[in-house]
Amino acid sequence: MDHEADAFRTDLMTITRFVLNEQSKYPESRGDFTILLSNIVLGCKFVCSAVNKAGLAKLIGLAGDTNIQASFFLFLFIYFLTFFLSCGEEQKKLDVLSNDVFIKALVSSGRTSVLVSEEDEEATFVESSKRGKYCVVFDPLDGSSNIDCGVSIGTIFGIYTMEHSDEPTTKDVLKPGNEMVAAGYCMYGSSCMLVLSTGTGVHGFTLDPSLGEFILTHPDIKIPKKGNIYSVNEGNAQNWDGPTTKYVERCKYPKDGSPAKSLRYVGSMVADVHRTLLYGGIFLYPADKKSPNGKLRVLYEVFPMAFLMEQAGGQAFTGKKRALDLVPKKIHERSPIFLGSYDDVEEIKALYAAEENN
Ligand code: FBP
């Protein structure tokens, strides 16, 4: 083995090469999708480097809490303090910074018309001179409760096409998830991994920091048919409905002689779903008395993960229906979600069906 030559593995499958190969399967394609994806990839690289430097660059901590009234003056004080400490523009807090990075990357691609971000109350309609045929829904930095302690977080995105050339509206994204043309996430953890599906399977790419390139390391990911891991915030158990309570009980105390499942919960959907995709099992964020519609948002959390799960041979269920058949009415709508290995999700579907028949 000629290690010297091996060091310069220019035959590596980078994500750019992969997407261009995919594009070549569609002779009529003008490369719009490839350009859009390469801008999303650039955004992920930016955020990855910011996440890696977060603690050092004071990018963690407050950037304007939800209770705006109470901490406005505190926020102003900290904001200006950090500004002066950081001498200038570049010191923005990670989730705000990540949102800016992706909005700029998507608008500058010239391939988008409607953008929906978890960070922005309203949808962004791209000015006509920079518009294109795609709409992107995304959570620029998911797992906010883990940002400050350096635990894995991620970016989630889903892509729709716009079927008309009139003025774009939110109707262009308030569509069933089964109309998405691509979805993915980028996990910022011990390694930075981008997992993508353009409707022909799920593929994982690992960022090689020395090359600054995402390399295909996990081609054609298939989730195991059944897993031995369940992932849920059991802190909400007292507020769960019957089928969820029964299902988690079965995970812990199986009556069929099978071994109990292990509980794994990071609290970042990207990390919990990534593990579920590779190891199998089930991730659930059910509805409960406190959050009757669950917590996770349909457009930029539930749909992209459901799209990937189905492409990998798994399932995604809301407690009532196939998650991808939902038709959201609002851009930040929430939904309960049960996703993962086919057989594990089948089990919870059966419990909800039994409850319905009672
Ligand atoms: P954010 O988008 O605000 O981060 O909320 C989403 C999320 O952090 C998911 O990543 C995660 O699965 C879930 O909330 C954790 O919620 P909880 O802390 O209630 O278990």
CA 322 / ligand 1 centre spacing (Å): 21
Q: Looking at the domain covering 229-357, what would its CATH class be?
A: alpha beta
Would the CATH topology of 15-218 be identical to that of 229-357?
no
The residue among 322, 345, 336, 334 whose CA lies nearest residue 276 is 345
Position 147 scores a pLDDT of: 85
- Residue linked to tokens 């004071």: 58
Report the chain (358 residues): mean pLDDT per 10 consecutive residues.
Answer: 58 92 87 96 96 74 50 51 48 84 98 98 97 97 90 97 91 98 97 96 96 96 98 98 97 94 98 98 97 97 98 98 98 98 98 92
Whether 143 contacts 271, CB under 8 Å = yes
239 touches ligand 1 (CB under 6 Å): no
Structure tokens at 98: 């990540």
275 touches ligand 1 (CB under 6 Å): no
Q: Looking at the domain covering 15-218, what would its CATH class be?
A: alpha beta
Position 28 scores a pLDDT of: 87
SS3 call for 197: strand
CA 276 / ligand 1 centre spacing (Å): 16
> Which residue among 156, 269, 285 has the greatest number of ligand 1 atoms within 8 angstroms of its CB, and so is best to mutate?
269
**Where do the structural domains in the chain lie, given as residue ranges?**
15-218, 229-357
What would the DSSP string read from start to end of 102-123? HHHHHHHTT-EEEEEETT-SSP
Structure tokens at 227: 């897993």
Total-model pTM: 0.90
Position 92 scores a pLDDT of: 54
CA distance readout (Å), 27 to 22, 30, 31, 199: 10, 8, 10, 17
Return the amino acid letter for 34: T
Structure tokens at 259: 């071994």
CA 266 / ligand 1 centre spacing (Å): 9
